[in-house]
Amino acid sequence: MSNIEDYGGGQRGDSDVLVVTTNDVPGYRVERVIGEVFGLTVRSRHVGSQIGAGLKSLVGGELRGLTKTLVETRNQAMERLVDQARARGANAVLMMRFDVSSGADVGTEVCAYGTAVVIAPAH
């Protein structure tokens, strides 16, 4: 039995910086736009997981080791995004997206990016 955190991610409910993929937050207004923020991480591929993935690709199915690694990588990029937003005085990030790319077959770059803002409850 796998832990739900191993194969999924996202923001935890106790964060002081709200991250959403939408342009706005219902019930809140944007008081100030701070600007773009991002969190970036590059992970090298583990030789053992590459061999396992190669063998698994022969028979098909999910590459669980690689899935877990990608989840950890995205979560780290997201944490860095939140740290950047907080450091700039934001309490929210709007329009958050992930960008994933491979670099010269040695690693995977994951970037979480969005617009840092200050929001307040709408009156």
Rounded Cα distance between 60 and 66, Å, is 14
Question: 6 in helix, strand or coil?
Answer: helix
Cβ proximity of 122 and 28 under 8 Å = yes
pLDDT digit of tens for each residue in the chain (123 aa)?
556 666 677 777 778 999 999 999 999 999 999 999 999 998 876 555 555 555 556 667 777 777 788 888 899 999 999 999 999 999 999 999 999 888 666 778 899 999 999 999 998
What are the extents of the domains in the chain?
14-121
Topology classification of domain 14-121: Translation Initiation Factor IF3 (3.30.110)
pTM: 0.80
Burial class (CB in 10 A: 0-12, 13-18, 19+), 103: exposed
